[in-house]
Structures are given as structure tokens and as C-alpha cells.
Amino acid sequence: MLPSAVDALTAALAHVGNPSSLHTAGRSARRTVEEARERLAASLGARPSEVVWTAGGTEADNLAVKGLFWARRTADPARRRLLVSAVEHHAVLDPAFWMAEHAGAELVLLPVDADGVVELEALREELEGHPDAAALVSVMWANNEVGAVQPVEEVVALAHRHGVPVHVDAVQAVGQVPVDLTASGVDALTVSGHKVGGPGSTGALLVRRGLDLTPVLHGGGQERGVRSGTLDAPLLASFAVAVEAAVADREEHAARVGTLRDDLVRRVLDAVPGAVLRGPADAARRLPANAHLTFAGCEGDSLLYLLDAAGVEASTGSACQAGVPRPSHVLLAMGVGEDDARGALRFSLGRTSTAADVDAVLDVLPGAVERARAAGLTSVGV
Amino acid sequence: MRVLAALSGGVDSAVAAARAVDAGHDVVGVHMALSRTPAQQRTGSRGCCSIEDAGDARRAADVLGIPYYVWDMSERFERTVVADFLAEYAAGRTPNPCVRCNEHVKFAALLDKALALGFDAVCTGHYARVVAHDDGRRELHRAADAAKDQSYVLAVMGPERLARSLFPLGDAPSKSHVRAEAAARGLSVSAKPDSYDICFVADGDTQGFLRDRLGSQPGDVVDETGAVVGTHDGAYAYTVGQRRGLALGRPAPDGRPRYVLSVEPVQRRVVVGPAERLEVARVTADEAVWYGAVPAPGTACTVQVRAHGAPVAARVRAADDGTVTVDVAAGTGTGTDGGPAGTAGCGEGAGLRGVAAGQSLVLYDGTRVVGQGTVRATVSPAGLADARAHA
């Protein structure tokens, strides 16, 4: 966590009080929450009244997909199509699949190109081919695995032309690329604390004024009845401080990690035969901290072990049930073959990453790939 | 050494890994995912296939402070263990899936991958002892706790794989000692129930599993004369030596219990008869594996044909083609081999009874495993006498 976020959290922890209570302690907590709300809104181009606190990005995504679908279908029963990009995070995809299975939604997965960027032409066809049938478009700001920044502006323009609201999961984008609710025209925007150096279990859905949203959590009526549940003032204060700091520092941070990332990618492609960069090669269309590579013939989990044993922490993609690695749905949607997709590694650079870290990766990666390839071959035989 | 500890999520593998850590090895925990669609929780005495088990394995690794990974072995497991299990039953044989898993998954795919990644050995919670000699030879021996001994299901791995295996529980005096050790180490799996059944048969109903996967193949149950004495829904569901569950409409003329003598899936026929017809004087096995020199013809040994059977005295002859023949002198056995569950009771001094093709034959010299093979054929005492008369 960012030191300033830790400070904000620990300072606020000393004060008890339920922000919904009217006594003095409650009012003090309420003030902490509302200051955090103003701070978060200001950082992301939203008004304070457009912030709905949630317990993380997953809850915000669920609220957006389910809440917008239900609100739209209630207003117009013909609108039951969910247009969702095929490379969304599971926090969007799984609610969308669930709505298709249980709530009468018709799910349309929007294809992406080989870089993982959503096909605008496909979105146009879906909107024009089924006029007045779409409830919602959900396209992430930037993909968490391959780093592809999505054409949010164009998606919004297309959707709004057909009167369809747009949800954008911006969990990966905040602090990496400029994110602004009002300027982007996005109707609902998911943000999360833990990706920007804030505490876990914090998040928010920024909901454009006037947009109807059916609640998913019912109870005490907090957050204007859209999201019930007692608010945790210290966590929210810390979350807002972290977002504010990440946004303020964004340009400098992006330039610094972008340079390191470019160096890492170039050197890995040079040093490791068969390494392929996935996602856009153009740095401007990619999250600056993200490097995603596949190593044909390797299993990602073998690489992970070998790198971890050598002190390098990377990840393969999203872990699934019982931690069993599966080829990433993002890579498969990009047209990457299942075997190549198994040998995927994502390196994320952070605030503490240095040129020495890049050197350390290059010291161990070529040998690890060679060894993982040998191990991959043994487990294919017989 | 760099040691890969296979963590099933049970108490044995957790304590085995802990002992490997104590021994000063550099240990990494790996849970093998054996099912593509794991159940959320364990059901009954099932082990090692649920998300709960994977979580328990991860927690054990946390407590031990070792890295933890899940390796997806589900495709290999389905292909070499589950498919083999079905094919063997469909062919009228009696497979042991734990033996196949050790042969094709644990001490093959898992071990190979571990070695390729730079590990020196694989450590499991099996109860068996490895005795290492100064000249580098390693012997596989029965566990100190005879009740938990698993050398029978491990024998199939052969000496090369044994050289890369650690069984830290081999000298444990009993399972309760292992549980106490787990509790003392703060391993939360210390009180977890043992698993007994076949892990991929969800509710322990093997016959139901076979029926679901192989379908109904009705046929006749006949006696030794060929007279039809009943019907069945699939010959594959029967095992040589089986007594219970035959559901024969009328009793044998002599009123004595009847047992399955043979299973003939092609003819869809199950042959039943009296207990003495189950006696086996000679067993031929193939794909023999030897630990050390192949024994000279006529070498005395003890043999075991099922996981919890008692050893029976025999003499062994090994052929160059990988087959091995053991002769059991009736009445000279060191005990009874027990017979499969719910099968012919064996009197004192009985030899082998109710041996089915497909079972694993393990040869011992005292506590030491000499070799292993898969049973292909058996000869009854009368048949052996005939063969000798004609020789």
C-alpha cells in the first residue's frame, strides 16, 4: 500500500462511528466518508453524487451488469441484450453469463482483434442489426492480461447513438492512463482500491447522474438505496487517498515504468527464442506497466515456479477453480492457440520496479524457458 | 535436495512434506488436480479430488512455509487411470486404479515433470520404507506399520523411479502417531478422515459408476455345467471371487455358497461355483518389474495379489519375455491372502484364492519388494496337476 494510504487508514481507524448514525461520532465518520467521496470523484472526473461505494471491483462490476440490465429491461422489456467484450474480466463476464442463464438476458460476446482490442465494426453490427434490443454495452478501459487499451470513446459514441448505456471496468486503467467519467461519456465506471496502492475490499461504481440502476444488495438503504451496507469510513478514506495519489502521479509513473517495460520486452524478445509479445506492440495503445509474453512449448505454471524459485514474481493469467491453470480466455479470444496460450506470462511493473529488476528477469528467464520447455515435452509424451 | 512434495490435502502427505522440510530439503508443495470438474467438498471417504482438498493442501503448505502449486494432471489421469479402469472391467479383468495412478501419474508424469524442472526427488505420504545401501542401491520395503503398508501399490514403479522417491512415513509406528504429529505441527488436516474408496468414484459405488459409464449389457449367470442360474446387467460389474450381490434366484443343489469363478464379457457370461474352485496354484503375470537381479528359477518368496492381502509362500520363475510365474503349494502358505472383500473365506494355510487377471502381483523377500507384475492368467491346483502329469 501507498504510505499515504496507510496513514489515512490508520488515522481514521482511531475514530469509531457509523457514518449512518446521527450522533457526534456518526457525523464525524460521515464527514470522513463524504470527503473521501469528493476526493475520489474529483480524481476521476465525476461528481460526488455519482460515486457508489462497493466492497471492491467485483461488486461494482456485478452492480453495473445486473443493475443496469434490470433497470433497462424494466423500462423497456425488449431491451435484454448484453453486449460484452470477450476479453472482459471474469467479474464482468461471469455476471453476464449468469444473467443469461437466470435472468433472461441474451449475451453477445463482442470479438476482439489479434491485439485484444474490441472490434468496433462488430459492435456497430450488433447495435444496428438489433435496434432497440440492447440493454447495455460493457467494455473494459484496458485489458488486465494483455494490457490492450480499448477504444472507449468510439464505443461510447456508437452505443449512445443507439441510446444504450456503457459500462467500463477501469480497474486496471486508473493511475496508468487518463480516466475521466464525464469527459469519456461513460455511464458507469468501475474502480478498485487494491490496484492503485489502496486497501483491498474497496471499490466504487461511478454512475452518471440520471442513470437508473436496480440495487443488487438490499438492506439499510445506504448509497441512496443503490447499495446497502454499513460504510467503512477508514477504508474509504484510504481508498480515496490512494486513487488521488495514483492519478496525480500518473504521467510521471507511466513514463518511468513504460520505459522499463519497453526495455524488458525488447530484451526478452531478443534473448528468448519463440517468445511472442501479446497485446498491442504500440506502447500508446497499451498499459505502460504491462508486459505479456507467450513462450511456445512451455507451461505457464512451470515458468512461474522456476522464476519464483529464482526470485522473480510473474503471473500466468487468472487462476481458476482449485487453482487449476486454464488457457486464458483473453488469449483464446485473440485467436492464440491453446498450446501457445498455456505458455503465457505477465510481468507487471510497479512503483518500486527498477532497471535492476529488469536485469534480474533477463538473468533467469532464458534458462527458465529452456527448462520449462523440456518439462513440457516430458508431460506430453506416453 | 530439491524435493517436490505431492500434497493431496490429506494428513499423510502433509506430515510427509513436513518431515522432508525437517530433513533439510528444499521443499515445494504440489497438488495434483485430477478432475476437470472438481466437487466443491469431499463426499464421504473420498480423497484428493475436491476443491476442499486443494484448499487443505494449500493450507498445509502455508503452515510449512513452502511454495505451493497446482498442477493439472486431469487429462493424464483420465486417460491412464480412469479409462484403464473402465477398459479393464469391460474386458472382465480387475484393475487396481491406485497402482495405475502410481505407475502413470504420480511416479511418472509428476516425477518426470519434477525432474525436468530441476527437482531431485518426489516425496509422498505413502507408507513404505526405502532402504539405501552404501553402494547406492535402494530397496523398497514394507512400512513399519503393517496395517498401513502400501508397498504393494508402489511396487509397480520400478527401481529407477524408486531412486527418486521419498516416503518419510515409512517408519511411522501407526496412523495415530502421524495424526498426533500433524496436530503437534499445527496442521489443520490432522483430524481429517482417511480416504478408502476409489477417488474418482464419487459415492464409493463402483458398480454404479461402471454401469453409468459402460451401460447395460445384460446376460446370464451360469454354473460350472453351463446351466443358467441367474441373470446380470453387465458382466463387468463382477469380480472373480465375489460372493455378495450375486442375487441368484435359487440356491445351489448342494446348498453351498457360490462364488464368481470367471467373468466373460464378450459372451456376457458370469460363471459361478463353489469356493474350492477359486483356489489358485499358479499365477502368471507379465510386464514384470524387478528390484535388483532377476531371481533364479525356483527362488522362494512370498507373493501378494491385493492391497490388503496377506503374503503367501511361493516359488518364482521369471522368463526373458517379461513374464513371471509363481507356484503356490496349496496348504503351505504362510497364511491366507484374505480374498477380495465379501468373498470366499480362506481357511488356515490356504494359498491364493479368487485371483483375477488385472490384479497386481507383488513378490517379497521378507519385507523387501523383489518384483511386480500384472496378473494375466491363473491355474487351479487340479489344472496344475494335470499339466505336470502331461509334462
Any A CB within 8 A of B106 CB? no
Cell of B2: 530439491
Higher model confidence: residue A330 or residue A20? A330
Residue of B nearest to A369 (CA): B117
> Across the interface, do A375 and B116 touch by the CB < 8 Å criterion?
yes
pLDDT score of B41: 62
Final residue of a structural domain among B275, B290, B309: B275
Q: Are residues B144 and B48 both part of a single domain?
A: yes
Final residue of a structural domain among B254, B275, B296: B275
The predicted complex's ipTM stands at 0.85
User: Does pLDDT of B339 surpass 80?
Assistant: no
| Residue A73 Cα distances to A65, A80, A103, A134, A187, angstroms | 12, 6, 10, 9, 16
pLDDT score of A101: 97
Q: Are the CB atoms for B267 and B240 separated by under 8 Å?
A: no
pLDDT score of A300: 86
Q: Are residues B35 and B154 both part of a single domain?
A: yes
Between chain A and chain B, how many beta carbons pairs sit less than 8 Å apart? 62
User: Does pLDDT of B172 surpass 60?
Assistant: yes
Identify whether B204 is part of a domain: no
pLDDT score of A377: 64
Give tens-digit pLDDT for A56-96.
999 999 999 999 999 999 999 999 999 999 999 999 999 99
Q: Distance, in angstroms, between B111 CA and closest chain A CA?
A: 10
Q: Are the CB atoms for B342 and B354 separated by under 8 Å?
A: no
> Across the interface, do A306 and B118 touch by the CB < 8 Å criterion?
yes
**Concatenated DSSP letters for B206-218?**
HHHHHHHHH--B-
Q: Are residues B107 and B65 both part of a single domain?
A: yes
Q: Are residues B169 and B289 both part of a single domain?
A: no
Structural domain count, chain B: 3
Query: Does B101 qualify as catalytic in the annotation?
Result: yes
Name every chain A residue with its beta carbon within 8 A of the beta carbon of B54. Answer: 322-323
Mean pLDDT within B264-288:
92
Q: Are residues B375 and B287 both part of a single domain?
A: yes
User: Does pLDDT of B333 surpass 80?
Assistant: no
Residue of A nearest to B109 (CA): A379
- Interface test mutation site (partner A, options B117, B119, B120, B122, max chain A beta carbons within 10 A): B117
Q: Could you tell me whether strands B282-290 and B324-327 are parallel, antiparallel, or unpaired per DSSP bridges?
A: antiparallel
Any A CB within 8 A of B118 CB? yes
Give percent of chain B above pLDDT 70.
91
Q: Are residues B269 and B293 both part of a single domain?
A: no
User: Does pLDDT of B49 surpass 70?
Assistant: no
Q: Are residues B59 and B71 both part of a single domain?
A: yes
Q: Distance, in angstroms, between A380 CA and closest chain B CA?
A: 9
> Across the interface, do B109 and A375 touch by the CB < 8 Å criterion?
no
Query: Does B48 qualify as catalytic in the annotation?
Result: no
Identify whether B211 is part of a domain: no
The catalytic position among A255, A320, A355, A380 is A320
Q: Give the three-state DSSP class for B40.
A: coil
pLDDT score of A324: 66
Give tens-digit pLDDT for A329-380.
999 999 999 889 989 999 999 989 999 999 999 999 999 999 999 998 655 4
- pTM for this predicted structure: 0.88
**Concatenated DSSP letters for A118-167?**
B-HHHHHHHHHHSTT-EEEEE--SB-TTT-BBP-HHHHHHHHHHTT--EE
Residue of B nearest to A379 (CA): B109
Q: Distance, in angstroms, between B88 CA and closest chain A CA?
A: 19
Residue of B nearest to A368 (CA): B117
Q: Distance, in angstroms, between A55 CA and closest chain B CA?
A: 24
Q: Are the CB atoms for A236 and A35 separated by under 8 Å?
A: no
Cα A254 from Cα A147, distance rounded (Å): 13
> Across the interface, do A379 and B113 touch by the CB < 8 Å criterion?
yes
Any A CB within 8 A of B51 CB? yes
Cα A333 from Cα B152, distance rounded (Å): 48
Identify whether B209 is part of a domain: no
Name every chain A residue with its beta carbon within 8 A of the beta carbon of B112. Answer: 375, 378-379
> Across the interface, do B117 and A372 touch by the CB < 8 Å criterion?
yes
Give tens-digit pLDDT for A275-323.
999 999 999 999 999 999 999 999 888 999 999 999 998 888 655 544 5
pLDDT score of A189: 98
Q: Give the three-state DSSP class for A287.
A: coil
CATH number where B290 lies: 2.40.30.10
Identify whether B196 is part of a domain: no
pLDDT score of B344: 41
> Across the interface, do A375 and B117 touch by the CB < 8 Å criterion?
yes
Identify whether B57 is part of a domain: yes
Identify whether B201 is part of a domain: no
CATH number where B256 lies: 2.30.30.280
> Across the interface, do A322 and B28 touch by the CB < 8 Å criterion?
no
pLDDT score of B42: 58
Q: Are residues B379 and B361 both part of a single domain?
A: yes
- Interface test mutation site (partner B, options A321, A364, A370, max chain B beta carbons within 10 A): A321
Q: Are residues B181 and B323 both part of a single domain?
A: no
Identify whether B210 is part of a domain: no
Give percent of chain B above pLDDT 90.
62
Q: Could you tell me whether strands B165-166 and B352-353 are parallel, antiparallel, or unpaired per DSSP bridges?
A: unpaired
User: Does pLDDT of A7 surpass 80?
Assistant: yes
Q: Are residues B124 and B253 both part of a single domain?
A: no
Q: Are residues B266 and B305 both part of a single domain?
A: no
Q: Which domain holds residue B311?
A: 278-389
Mean pLDDT within A258-279:
97
Any A CB within 8 A of B116 CB? yes
DSSP class of residue A45 equals T
pLDDT score of A264: 97
Per the prediction, chain A carries an average pLDDT of 94
User: Does pLDDT of B145 surpass 80?
Assistant: yes
From A308, A322, A378, residue closest to B116, measured CB to CB = A378
Final residue of a structural domain among B258, B275, B292: B275
Report the range out of A253-267, A335-349, B51-65 with the highest average pLDDT.
A253-267
Cα B67 from Cα B60, distance rounded (Å): 10
pLDDT score of B206: 86
Identify whether B326 is part of a domain: yes
From B72, B104, B117, residue closest to A371, measured CB to CB = B117
Give tens-digit pLDDT for A170-200.
999 999 999 999 999 999 999 999 999 999 9
Q: Are residues B246 and B365 both part of a single domain?
A: no
